Amino acid sequence: MSQSLVTAVRIDVPDEILVGGRWRTGAGPVLEPVDPATGEVLARIHGASTADVEEAVAAGERAAADPAWRDLLPHQRARYLHRIAELIDANAEQLAGLQTANTGKTLTETRALVASAAGTFRFFAAALETHESALTPSRGEYLTMRVHDPIGVVGAITPWNSPIASDAQKVAPALAAGNAVLLKPARWTPLVALAVGRLATEAGLPAGLLSVLPGSGSEVGDAIVRHPGVGKVSFTGGTETGRTIGRYAAEKIMPVTLELGGKSPTIVFPDADVDHAVAGVLFGIFSSSGQSCIAGSRVFVHESIYDTFVPRLVEATQRLRVGPGTEPGTQVGPLVTVSHRDQVARMVDTARAEGGRVLCGGEVPDDPELARGSYYLPTVIDGLPNSARTSQEEIFGPVAVVLPFTDEDDLVVAANDTVYGLACGIWTADYRRAWRVGRAIQAGTVWVNTYKQLSVSTPFSGTKESGIGIEKGRQGILSYSRQKSIYFGLNERPLPWAGIG
Ligand code: NAP
């Protein structure tokens, strides 16, 4: 990284964004990312304007069509991804520190996310080198094959909860497929995307192939989505925003990947290993302070163990260490902003109004040392039906709703009774039951006796209102490619229809 971005807690970020290959001051409004542990403004950066988006699209179109990029063989293009991965690794501590400062996540989490981002660039470099076109079975006097072309300019719009991982998840396969990328990070958390942009520049990625355009979604994000020169948008964020983007995509007849919200069930059967289940439920809902699309936020517990399991869960929740992400041992950091924390608090008030019992948490911590940060105590609520707002709406904070169940068939109906379909956890010693229930649950990912384990080699997707399209996995490159079929005529004589020859 050319500039030292983190010096202890002081952040030294130049007021520059990456527009079409040039680092310069953005023409949009100033963004003031805040450290959620202290409330301090970390940096002042002019974001992008719609004119900056225009410039980035034009530069991206030129860069993607330039033979110096377009004609690279796969193993040559892969080298750029390897170099970016190496630079991410070499700057891992700074990147993790920066992400912890800007999101409040613990250093343990951000170190893992940085390592995973480097792994994502390496994985897609390897996927690119081994990506095969196919000869399809011929049904006539011709040879048929399918190949994949780049789309051109791709928009990548990411949320604030895990910036470096969601940025890499889009930028790496999009570049691997031969595109130029406009990356728009969330306005609260632009710092890591800008740092990754610096590393891509340092890696020698040709100018214009990556633009980093922080700014508001309603202006910069909207301009990217609606621009005629943008041929695909890959979006991660809330379902309502995804719906808006989907409408514009329909007007443009443009492919989209939408990774959206969730309200995922975690199911504890009576034969579950209780230690594993408690640890998994806690990790599933309270890591990242619950600010995770795949958070296991609806915990279904079999009635026969409800009265023993729930008190254990509550006791273990109360023992979680809440504090700054920089402090070793912290398990639950602050929420991303005060306004988001207050929104979570309002949802817990809604639960109370709906008749829910708050078994622990349900308030901000009274520790004076945490008073400046946007903290909220890990919260467990029961006594609500599955139809309650708190059981149905994504809270995106450290709030678990616990629901008893009796019958397996009824459980599957209740677990699927949500607009979302992102993830599910099943805790049981009976693998036949795990298979049965896992297949019946409507979700993109099912974990059995584990939770929130993610691997770039395994596809990730949502169903129902949790999204469309697939990220990760070897085939992830295809999401950023146009499929093309080619027929080579092998007939010795002219085609018969015209009656020639
Ligand atoms: P969000 O409000 O939908 O924002 C996500 C991104 O979209 C931000 O960069 C945002 O910009 C931008 N945006 C907002 N309106 C836009 C528009 N009209 N056109 C184009 N871009 C627009 O979501 P969030 O609150 O940041 O993130 C939390 C949500 O993300 C949760 O629902 C969570 O479940 C979901 N999520 C899903 C996954 C998954 O893989 N399924 C992963 C992580 C998070 P601003 O900065 O201005 O808001």
Is residue 124 within 8 Å of residue 171, measured between CB atoms?
no
For residue 41, pLDDT beyond 80 = yes
Instruction: Name residues contacting ligand 1 (CB within 6 A).
Output: 157-161, 184, 186-187, 216-218, 221-222, 225, 236-238, 241, 244-245, 259-262, 293, 394, 396, 422, 462, 466-467
Please count the CA atoms within 13 angstroms of the CA of 17 that sit on its side-chain side. 33
pLDDT at 341 over 60: yes
Helices 107-130 and 163-176 cross at an angle (nearest 10°) of 10
| Residue 206, phi then psi, degrees to nearest 5 | -55, 145
pLDDT confidence band for 501 (50 / 70 / 90): confident
Distance CA 3, CA 7 (A): 11
Three-class SS of residue 155? Answer: strand
Q: Chain centroid to CA 79: how far?
A: 25
Is 471 a known active-site residue? Answer: yes
* Residue of 55, 61, 109, 259 marked active site: 259
293 alpha carbon – ligand 1 mean position (Å): 11
Q: What is the mean pLDDT of residues 484-489?
A: 98
Question: Rounded to the nearest 5°, which phi and psi values hold at 435?
Answer: -65, -50
Ligand 1 center to 24 CA (angstroms): 26
Whole-number pLDDT of residue 31? 98
| Nearest CA owner, ligand 1 atom 16 | 217
Cα(405) to ligand 1 centroid in Å equals 33
Cα 132 versus chain centre, distance: 27
- In 272-382 the beta strands, taken as DSSP E runs, fall at 298-302, 357-360, 379-382
Measured in angstroms, how far is the CA atom of residue 111 from the centroid of ligand 1? 23
For residues 408-430, give the mean pLDDT.
98
Asked whether residue 6 carries a pLDDT value surpassing 80, the answer given is no
Active site residue 293: yes
- Could you tell me the residue ranges of all domains in the chain? 3-260+466-485, 265-448
Q: Is pLDDT of 1 > 70? A: no
Active-site hit among 105, 170, 263, 472: 170
Q: Looking at 16, 263, 293, 424, which residue is catalytic?
A: 293
Indicate if the alpha-carbon torsion angle 98, 103, 106, 111 is positive or negative: negative
Q: Catalytic site residue 109? A: no
The domain made up of 3-260+466-485 has a fold known as: Aldehyde Dehydrogenase; Chain A, domain 1 (3.40.605)
Q: Is 259 a residue of the active site?
A: yes
pLDDT at position 11: 63
Q: Is the pLDDT of residue 416 over 90?
A: yes
Question: Is residue 306 within a helix (H) or strand (E), and if so which, with residue range?
Answer: helix 303-318
At 47-62, the pLDDT tens digits run: 999 999 999 999 999 9
- Residue 89 to residues 103, 117, 207, 456, 488, Cα–Cα distance (Å): 20, 9, 22, 17, 45
pLDDT band at 12 (very low <50, low <70, confident <90, very high): confident
Q: What is residue 239's predicted lDDT score, i.e. its pLDDT?
A: 98
Mutation test residue for ligand 1: of 241, 344, 471, 472, the one with most atoms within 8 Å of CB: 241
Residue 217: predicted pLDDT: 98
- Strand-pair partners of 302: 405
Atom of ligand 1 nearest to the CA of 241: 3
Report the 3 state secondary structure along 80-125. Answer: HHHHHHHHHHHCHHHHHHHHHHHHCCCHHHHHHHHHHHHHHHHHHH
What ligand 1 atom has the least distance to the C-alpha of 184?
9
Q: What is the amino acid identity at position 66? A: D
Nearest CA owner, ligand 1 atom 6: 159
Q: Which atom of ligand 1 is nearest to the CA of 471?
A: 40
On average, the pLDDT of the chain sits at 96
Structure tokens at 456: 């770039």
Summarised one tens digit per residue, pLDDT across range 291-305 is 999 999 999 999 999
pTM of the model: 0.96
**Could you confirm whether domain 265-448 is CATH 3.40.309.10?**
yes
